[in-house]
Structure 1
Amino acid sequence: MAKYDPLRDHLKSDGRPLITLSFTTISRLVGGLPDSASDYRSWWSNQRGSSRYVQARAWRDAGYIAEPDLMSQMVLFRRG
């Protein structure tokens, strides 16, 4: 199991078109987030195929794109 598979599975099982999760909730799901997730919007890039963005595979494979808000430490996952 890959580190971000629990996030993918959570999003898939929820299935709503818009899902808002806190960084804390995501961190609990995946066993911790790197500091860069809180510091850099680019960590939440929706790019596929790059080994640099393995986390994006989780939400993209579930059918979502991530729209992070670093100030509120929340991520809106939107079907897309």
Structure 2
Amino acid sequence: MTKYAALGDFLSRQPVARVQLSFADIERITGGKLPASQRYPAWWSNNPMNNPMTRVWLDAGFRTEQVDIAGRKLVFYKADTSSTEMADANSAAQNASSADEHPLVTRLRGTVRVAPGVDLTAPADNAWGDLAYGDGGSE
């Protein structure tokens, strides 16, 4: 059980899709102070590898949005992603070798599809070079 488990319990009991909380509310619910890193927006991201509290709200079926660091408040919303999809994504992120791939690449894998035969390195417009440089590609 983590020190943030009470937040997960609280969120799990919410009958609404959006729950607005202040950072003080979260500290009251968890019974402890948030770490100093709470002042950085990245701490509130939905990356399951981010920090122990992130896993708590994700496991409760919620994600964060409208994080207002200056106002010390945010909104948790019920995620549409099923727990098995989230677990599969988390597993893929954990299994990626940090030396081989950036974690963002692992998290985004499978979210974009490129049609067969499409060359992403080719100009979108065959006349692009002429339009951009006029004569022969010189500026």
| Range of TM-score over shorter length | 0.7 to 0.9
Q: Rg bigger for which structure?
A: 2
Residue deviations 1:44-63, cap 9 Å, x none? 11111x2x421101110111
Runs of 4+ in 1 over 3 A off after TM superposition: none
Aligned to 1:60: 58
User: Equivalent pairs: percent with the same residue?
Assistant: 36
Pick 1 or 2: higher relative contact order, CA cutoff 8 A, min separation 6.
Answer: 1
Note the 1:35-54 alignment, pairs <5 A.
Answer: 35-37=36-38, 39-48=39-48, 50=49, 52-54=50-52
Q: Is the 8 A contact 1:45 1:53 kept in 2?
A: no
| Structure with a larger share of its residues in strand | 1
Report the number of matched residues: 77
Q: Is the 8 A contact 1:8 1:61 kept in 2?
A: yes
Task: Note the residue ranges of structure 2 that are not aligned, 5 or more in a row.
Answer: 80-139
Task: Note the residue ranges of structure 1 that are not aligned, 5 or more in a row.
Answer: none
Residue aligned with 2:13, SS? helix
Provide the alpha-carbon RMSD of the alignment: 1.1
Q: Is the 8 A contact 2:9 2:60 kept in 1?
A: yes
Aligned to 2:133: none
Question: Could you state the TM-score of these two structures normalised by the residue count of structure 2?
Answer: 0.52
